[in-house]
Amino acid sequence: DMEGFMEEMGGEISVPVLKGDWDALPANVRKYIAENVRLCRPKGVFICDGSDEEAQEITEKMVNRGLLTKLEKYENCYLCRTDPADVARVEGKTFIVTKEKFETVPHVQEGVKGILGQWMSPEDAEKEIKDRFPGCMKGRVMYVIPFSMGPIGGPLSKVGVQLTDFNYVVLSMRIMTRVSSKNWDVLGENGEFVQCIHSIGAPRPLERKVINHWPCNPERIMITHFPDQRKIMSYGSGYGGNSLLGKKCFALRIASRIAKDEGWLAEHMLILGVTNPDGVEKFMAAAFPSACGKTNLAMLTPSLPGYKVRCLGDDIAWMRFDDEGRLMAINPEAGFFGVAPGTNTKTNPVAMETCMKNTIFTNVGMTEDGGVFWEGMEKEIKREQLITTWLGDEWHVGDKGKAAHPNSRFCSPAGQCPIIHDKWEDPAGVHIDAIIFGGRRPEGVPLVFEAFDWQHGVMLGAALKSEATAAAEFKGKQIMHDPMAMRPFMGYNFGDYLKHWSDLNKPGRQMPKIFHVDWFRLNDSGKFVWPGFGDNIRVLDWICRRVDGEDIAVPSAIGLLPVEGSLNVEGLNVSWEENFNLPKEYWQDDIEETKNFLQAQVGSDLPESISNEVAKQEDRINHM
Ligand code: GDP
Ligand code: PGA
Ligand code: MN
Ligand code: MN
């Protein structure tokens, strides 16, 4: 069995420690490293301390190797181009391993292929791992990365130790998490930490040609999670969520499972604070699927005078009710891994400023003067500038094809965001007043509406859908269900997850109000009916006023809509009708489709509280 196998692998370390003090590590950490050294056979072990000098040393090596290009136009910024076969999260190769299948996935309807999580048996996982990991780091260095999700030592924070054979991952983890030797002193009960084992799957001598100095093994990618052992094993990819294991694997999949057991929430949500002209601040958490606007909303520059938005996080929230019944949220991350295309000084000046120093750009274009370029930056460079595309080709604005990959990213420290909130590292978190769900919905969905109550809001989250984006391997513009924006990140049975959410509503708790937004509705000529970006403050303002109980909402079949004129559209050339009309036929089809989806995919695990809400919504729509 796997445990016996790993036991044999344990013991003292058999290769040189290239950096760091082996004997200073806690005994269980030494055992963990040693057993994975015997499994992966690296040529040496490099224990990271998270210092700037360490990063400098690694960066220089990578520049010399050609994996990083210094961007001369900015301060301490680098460009990385991946193997074009390794550009996004690979959901089809992502698994949760538990003894009991239905701990991980719902009892789907007979004959239905489940899409809410993928289960693998421990036996199959053991086989797949033995097929990949033995010797997978031969000829490479194993980096040991001690990191904290959340402020180091905070009551809501958790420690992980990532082992990786890819230096790009070391530099990225330093930005995205808190990497520090201090983490050795704040491990959990009994020295607990989340085990994060990552290999690009390219031992030497190489069997596959390395492209762009980016070794990987795309045909054999496999990302496995063992929630019971608090362990992640990821193989074959160096990209984003596949390799920066603190992010999706730990902070969402493993953490959501821990959160269920411990009564809290680990969610795919940004966190922001919005202050109105009277100086009153409210905090919101918003769940949108990948590449649907979280980073942009979190960094919003208000188009209305007197308002201020400050950012606490752009991707993940860990939330827990405190003793006073308030929902408190922290951002477990320390950096932003933001979508580059579409970002510019008009749409998101804050992100542009954030990424102009200490940033790693991946798969964007480069201008001849050592700057970055991507789709959406056409007005920010001289038109005749020569650009090198993410594929290494020469290119000019107006030429065929794209300069940047649609899922190209900037990876920047959160602390340097000009509107970062002074409480962003408060270990206690901030008090969430409103939760917002949204996705890319080209048709039928109003700009904003409010749930009637908590149960209705949970149903709206369960029914979340969006057009597919480039963040994962899917192609085309199909509308996909992405319940709670968590479909790719679910750590356990989605029916149990919905029940957990429903059960949070207890006497004595101040339940946040729940809202649904859509920035992406199109009109008959295919244009966005809402300007979005900085003008989204107008929607946040309406939400704040609703949290204060202002009488500006009117019931509709799908939820509470803004009373006509109550949402400030002054100075905008937008049609209220195009933004807020509810086409009855569209919603009849939609609720039918949603009902079928939940019955098919969550099956007998669907809580009654949700099916009741769906039935009530259907009835309301039929009476529209
Ligand atoms: P995230 O992956 O959820 O963080 O999404 P981002 O904030 O990075 O945005 C993804 C893409 O959606 C980018 O190309 C943005 O320019 C675009 N986007 C974000 N907010 C808006 C908006 O309000 N309106 C429109 N039309 N596009 C948006
Ligand atoms: P985002 O995060 O697209 O939600 O910003 C990265 C991802 O989900 O892969
Ligand atoms: Mn995300
Ligand atoms: Mn983002």
Q: What beta strand segments (E) does 473-512 contain?
A: 479-481
State the Cα–Cα distance between residues 378 and 390, nearest whole angstrom: 16
267 lines ligand 2 (CB under 6 A): no
Cis peptide before 205 (omega within 30 of 0): yes
Q: Is the pLDDT of residue 1 over 90?
A: no
Percent of the chain at pLDDT > 70 equals 98
What span, in angstroms and rounded, lies between the C-alpha atoms of 408 and 355? 13
* Alpha carbon 200 to chain centroid, angstroms: 21
Q: What is the arithmetic mean of pLDDT over 513-536? A: 97
CA separation for the pair 136, 216 (Å, rounded): 11
Residue 523 φ/ψ, nearest 5 degrees: -95, -175
pLDDT for residue 10: 56
- The residue contributing the CA closest to ligand 1 atom 14 is 342
Mean pLDDT of 41-47: 97
* Contact by Cβ (8 Å): 243, 217: no
CA distance to 42, 46, 170, 543, 544, per residue, from 17 (Å): 11, 6, 17, 55, 55
How many angstroms separate the alpha carbon of residue 316 from the centre of ligand 2? 9
347 lines ligand 1 (CB under 6 A): yes
Taking residues 14-43, report their average pLDDT.
Answer: 94
Whether 542 contacts 433, CB under 8 Å: no
Q: Nearest bound ligand to CA 88?
A: 2
Mean pLDDT to the nearest integer, 67-80: 98
Q: Does position 366 have pLDDT exceeding 70, yes or no? A: yes
Q: Looking at ligand 2, which atom is closest to the CA of residue 489?
A: 8
Q: Is any ligand 2 atom within 6 A of the Cβ of residue 297?
A: no
- Residue-wise pLDDT tens digits, 206-251: 999 999 999 999 999 999 999 999 999 999 999 999 999 999 999 9
Phi and psi at residue 386, in whole multiples of 5°?
A: -80, 130
CA–CA gap between residue 467 and residue 155 (Å, rounded): 37
Which ligand 1 atom is at minimum distance from the Cα of 533? Answer: 23
Q: Per residue in 77-97, pLDDT tens?
A: 999 999 999 999 999 999 999
Quick: pLDDT tens for 308-343. Answer: 999 999 999 999 999 999 999 999 999 999 999 999
Question: What is the radius of gyration, based on Cα positions, of the chain?
Answer: 24
Q: Count CB neighbours of 399 within 10 A.
A: 12
Per-residue model confidence (pLDDT) at position 11: 60
Cβ contacts of residue 367 below 8 Å, gap of 6+?
A: 73, 373, 381, 385, 386, 387
pLDDT tens for each residue of 432-443? 999 999 999 999
Tell me what the pLDDT averaged over the chain comes to. Answer: 96
**Got the DSSP string for 536-603?**
GHHHHHHHHHHHTT-S-EEE-SSSEEEPTT-S--TT----HHHHH---HHHHHHHHHHHHHHHHHHTG
Decide: 294 in ligand 1 pocket, CB within 6 A: yes
pTM above 0.95, yes or no: yes
Give the Cα separation of 12 and 418 in Å (integer). 47
Assess whether the C-beta atom of 295 lies below 6 angstroms from ligand 2.
yes
**Three-state DSSP class for 350?**
helix
Q: Is 544 among the residues known to form the active site?
A: no
Nearest-CA residue for atom 11 of ligand 1: 291
Listing DSSP states for 110-147 in one string gives TTPPP-S--EE-HHHHHHHHHHHSTTTTTTSEEEEEEE
Q: What is the mean pLDDT of residues 269-282?
A: 98
Please measure the distance between the N-terminal and C-terminal CA atoms of the chain and give it in whole angstroms: 59
Of 292, 311, 411, 417, which residue is the catalytic one?
292
Find all residues with CB under 8 Å of 503, minimum gap 6, and list them. none
Is 519 close to ligand 1, i.e. is its CB under 6 Å away? yes
**Contact between residue 424 and residue 298 where contact means Cβ atoms under 8 Å apart:** no
- Report pLDDT for 303: 97
DSSP symbol at 248: I
How sure is the predictor about 471, in pLDDT bands with cuts at 50, 70 and 90?
confident
Tens of pLDDT, residue by residue over 472-501, are 888 878 999 999 999 999 999 999 999 999
- Substitution site in 172, 245, 247, 315 for ligand 2 pocket (most atoms within 8 Å of beta carbon): 315
- Is the Cβ atom of 240 under 6 angstroms away from ligand 1? no
- Residue 251: nearest ligand to its CA? 3
Q: Which atom of ligand 1 is nearest to the CA of 338?
A: 8
Residue 154's identity, in one-letter code, is: G
CA of 361 to the centre of ligand 4 (A): 14
Cα separation, 37 vs 10, whole angstroms: 9
